[in-house]
Amino acid sequence: MIDKDSRTLSDRVYDYCRKYGLLDVSAIIAGLSGGPDSVCLLTLLDAFSKSGRTSAKIYAVHVNHNLRPGDCDRDEAFVRDLCEKMDIPLTVKSFDVAGTAGDMGISVEEAGRRIRYGCFRETAESLDCGSYVIATAHHANDLAETMMMNLFRGAGLDGITAMRPVQDGIIRPLLCVNKEEITAFLDENGIGYVTDKTNFEDIGSRNIWRNKIFPYIGNYTSRDPQEALRSAHALLSSDSDFINAASLEAYGTYVRPVGSFKAVDCAVSGLHDALFTRVVRRLWKESFGDMTDFENINLRQAAELIGREDQDGFVTVDMPFGRKIWKFMGLAGFIEGDKTIELACALAGNEGYLTSPESISLVLTEGSCQKIAGTVNIFKYTVVENIGDLAYNNHSWICPADMPSLQGRPLLLRNGAGDLRFAKAGGNGGKLVKDVLADRKVPRPARNSVLAVTSGDEVLWLPGAGHATGFTDLRSRDRFLEEGYKGRYLKVEIVPEE
């Protein structure tokens, strides 16, 4: 039974949830450490569910970090008993967080955070519970502490206002109440919880802010510094939302697909820095899924490359954890290091070239139709009876069936033809294919993947660059027919697989 004061806290939290639509899902996965904050969160969510204030099914997840021998097992036993009494499904996971932190070269706090959120999402997916959110027990004091910690790390507006009611599938229903109100609610209602003694020790930056810096500031200000910061957070969040809405519009304007990758038009560098940097950061996040490893120094590197006006060839710059930023012909983006050839092939495809990252050497025979490995395309090789009825596209080529190049030598569709010579119809002398591709600024990593049709040491058709004989469209057909050819024709066509 919740008394008057407790109902006030409950109603405040419920109104806060309604304002931001936090409960409008099929399931809520609540993180449950056993401490007062998470116990309060689970108690309120359970009350909202059982009273019909939300139709969401409530689940709990407890992660045993194994950092405090004895206490960790006590906490796990407590949450098991609590969830059993409340009839709430509980998932418990156990990890060597300290060992993981050492292996990854990150702090124990960061390792614990990554493991917890990974467990929350993994649990939600395994439950197959439809639309869901992850609920954490961050409260108003956490918000103030996070603001100051991020400020002194050099964060900008988004970093200072990072803790929001709902963000990336995570809800924080308790941001509207403070720690004192939470413990008072639990004590007044006889709801038990466990205490982490390390919260009272001056170890870790958050504890220092909580136990030393804020009390010190409070001695010299007329207003509770945490209350003042919460007020500032509301004002700054409004500004941040406005700028982010504008940056989202800019993102839609300047970002475009390149195969399976995303790229930004380098003209974006002409925008105000407040928009430009947000577009770049969003591109990183959509490329890799999070912002964890993208620091200000990386943002500056990216901004410098994107803004360079003298760079039109394919270039990459190393980023954290094997990632890269690339730039080519007015486009830029981010990739994992092992995706360089795949990206370069996609960029070459945008320029009309056909590529395969696999080694290709296919013999073309009349009537053949075959899948081209490493692509979504097939080739067709057919006899043409009436060239007057042909439909042309960018990736078809018609040649004389009795041309000298074909006598006794197979016609091949292949890549890796860089050292063969290509003389475009109507041109003089010709060049090696690798030089043709270099002149046309095909990204270097893709050049060995570009497909060509060859016979012996001759390149007869280089899709995207031209043909040596025969024709590919009406104009080149008419020019070819001026030579008076009367024989049979063969057609090589490369089309998407149906």
More reliable by pLDDT, 194 or 321: 194
Read off the pLDDT of each residue in 33-38 and give the average, rounded to a whole number: 94
Instruction: Supply the CATH number for residue 310's domain.
Output: 3.30.465.60
pLDDT(355) > 90: yes
For residue 210, being part of any structural domain is answered with yes
281 vs 268: CA distance, rounded Å: 13
Read off the pLDDT of each residue in 482-486 and give the average, rounded to a whole number: 75
CB-facing half-sphere around the CA of 86: CA atoms within 13 A: 25
The listed range with the strongest mean pLDDT (295-299, 403-407, 478-482) is: 295-299
Residue 61's domain spans which residues? Answer: 4-140+148-223
Is residue 136 domain-shared with residue 26, that is, in the same domain?
yes
Question: Tens digit of pLDDT for each residue in 370-411?
Answer: 899 999 999 998 888 777 777 777 789 988 888 776 677 888
Is residue 168 domain-shared with residue 273, that is, in the same domain?
no
Is residue 152 domain-shared with residue 178, that is, in the same domain?
yes
Residue 462's beta-bridge partner residues?
466
pLDDT(5) > 50: no
44 vs 34: CA distance, rounded Å: 14
Query: For residue 106, what pLDDT is reported?
Result: 76
Q: Tally the domains of the chain.
A: 3
pLDDT(239) > 80: yes
Query: For residue 204, what pLDDT is reported?
Result: 67
For residue 232, being part of any structural domain is answered with no
Asked which of 174, 207, 223 is the last residue of a domain, the reply is 223
pLDDT(7) > 60: no
For residue 249, being part of any structural domain is answered with no
For residue 248, being part of any structural domain is answered with no
Is residue 430 domain-shared with residue 332, that is, in the same domain?
no
Q: Is the pTM of this model over 0.85?
A: no
Is residue 336 domain-shared with residue 405, that is, in the same domain?
no
Query: Which residue, chain included where needed, has tokens 């050492």?
Result: 102
Is residue 59 domain-shared with residue 120, that is, in the same domain?
yes
- Coil/strand/helix, residue 429: coil
Asked which of 175, 204, 223 is the last residue of a domain, the reply is 223
Is residue 33 domain-shared with residue 115, that is, in the same domain?
yes
Query: For residue 94, what pLDDT is reported?
Result: 85
Is residue 323 domain-shared with residue 374, that is, in the same domain?
no
For residue 253, being part of any structural domain is answered with no
Question: Tens digit of pLDDT for each residue in 172-217?
Answer: 999 999 999 999 999 999 999 998 766 656 566 788 888 899 999 9
Read off the pLDDT of each residue in 466-494 and give the average, rounded to a whole number: 84
Query: For residue 422, what pLDDT is reported?
Result: 93
Is residue 80 domain-shared with residue 200, that is, in the same domain?
yes
Read off the pLDDT of each residue in 11-19 and give the average, rounded to a whole number: 95
For residue 211, being part of any structural domain is answered with yes
Is residue 157 domain-shared with residue 266, that is, in the same domain?
no
Cα–Cα distances in Å, from 251 out to 87, 127, 267, 279? 46, 34, 12, 6
For residue 266, being part of any structural domain is answered with yes
* Pair 489, 383: CB distance under 8 Å: yes
Contacts of 389 (CB under 8 A, 6+ apart): none
458 vs 280: CA distance, rounded Å: 45
For residue 312, being part of any structural domain is answered with yes
* Pair 28, 129: CB distance under 8 Å: no
Query: For residue 233, what pLDDT is reported?
Result: 94
Instruction: Supply the CATH number for residue 158's domain.
Output: 3.40.50.620
Is residue 65 domain-shared with residue 157, that is, in the same domain?
yes
Question: Tens digit of pLDDT for each residue in 247-293?
Answer: 999 999 999 999 999 999 999 999 999 999 999 999 999 999 888 77
What rounded mean pLDDT belongs to the chain? Answer: 89
Query: For residue 155, what pLDDT is reported?
Result: 85
Is residue 452 domain-shared with residue 376, that is, in the same domain?
yes
Asked which of 294, 329, 350 is the last residue of a domain, the reply is 350
Query: For residue 201, what pLDDT is reported?
Result: 63
